[in-house]
Structure 1
Amino acid sequence: MEAQKKRSRPVNRISISLPDELHAELDIMVAERGFESRSQAINDMLRQYLAEHQREKGNEVMVGTITLLYNNATRGLQKTIADLQYQHVDEVISSLHVHLTDNQTMEVILVQGPAQDVQKIADELIALRGVTTGRLQLMAAMIPPLHPMPSKGRKA
């Protein structure tokens, strides 16, 4: 039933020309990643590219993750990371950290907010001394409000 709903949505067909080598690489990627078709794979790539474009060009509210890998032996780093998250409590939804080998920690921070604001938060975190690497991944979607906002004139 769900697959039938997906297929009933209107679609536009386009035609593209690819060099033989790129066509072969696309087919390999489709098979390796388990896509049902080239169209499904290209849709996925386009969505990712368009989300990146939206992030770069504007200030649309988006949802995503900031993933950090850091040295947990760096003095004060975990507190600084926690403090920065608290300073941006409107954008930081949740975080999870996992202790790895060799004094490394991976932290995944769920964020939502205007793309440029979330990018600044990610840049602040990634630039901290002791952070080995980091990456912001945004998607053109939003988390629904957890609680409805009270209407004006209505008692909460």
Structure 2
Amino acid sequence: MQRITITLDDDLLTAIDAIATERGYQNRSEVIRDLARNGLAQMQADGDQAEPWAGALVYVYDHAARNLSHRLVETAHEHNDIAVATMHVHLDDASCLEITALKGSRGEIQHFADHVIAERGVRYGRVVMIPARERGGKAHAAHTHPHAHSPAKR
């Protein structure tokens, strides 16, 4: 890690300090690193569509909508290489929240998310994507942390 010096105007520094306090950051450096990562990821969004990405699709739907639950499960099964896990939460008598973890190219993730969000009965949906490439450009290269990797169950 390198130490650098930057100059910021007072208003920008005040905004950074407010974010640090609001979100519980320990120091300004952590805030600035996260902002830089987010900015770089946003700039990368226009880059190579084949790079590995991870995403989370969050959506709320009417569980009483005709065959919607079945259609959503079928969509996930048809894209089991992209949709790797889903959490289902009952919000109330009429609404369910699902959060689906996704992996693949940016285009594949966006296509899947668009398909789910467009389903009749899905009231709200949003996808968040981040690059899944490790520093140095290798996707999940060899590493030393102690855990086993196993393929996703289908």
* Range into which the TM-score falls when normalised by the shorter chain: 0.7 to 0.9
Alpha-carbon distance, 1:34 to partner? 1.3
The reply on whether 1:81 has 2:85 as its aligned counterpart is no
Runs ≥4 in structure 1, deviation > 4 angstroms?
142-145
Query: What is the match of residue 150 of structure 2?
Result: 146
Query: What is the match of residue 28 of structure 1?
Result: 18
- Choose 108-117 or 57-66, whichever is displaced more: 57-66
Give SS of 1:30's match. helix
Q: % of aligned pairs identical?
A: 29
> Partners in 2 of 1:82 and 1:126 — Cα distance?
13
Alpha-carbon distance, 1:55 to partner? 3.3
Query: What is the match of residue 72 of structure 1?
Result: 63
Give SS of 1:57's match. coil
> Partners in 2 of 1:92 and 1:51 — Cα distance?
21
Q: Structure 2 matches for 1:1-156, cutoff 5 A?
A: 10-18=1-9, 20-59=10-49, 60-141=51-132, 146=150
> Partners in 2 of 1:14 and 1:81 — Cα distance?
50
> Partners in 1 of 2:122 and 2:87 — Cα distance?
16
Deviations 1:19-57 (A, max 9, x none): x33322221111121112112101112212322332343
Alpha-carbon distance, 1:64 to partner? 1.9
TM-score, structure 2 as length reference: 0.79
List runs of 5+ in structure 1 lacking aligned partners.
Answer: 1-9, 148-156
Alpha-carbon distance, 1:14 to partner? 4.4
> Partners in 2 of 1:41 and 1:124 — Cα distance?
34
- Choose 48-57 or 66-75, whichever is displaced more: 48-57
Q: Which amino acid aligns with 1:109?
A: T
CA 1:97/1:50 → structure 2, altered by over 3 Å: closer, same or farther? same
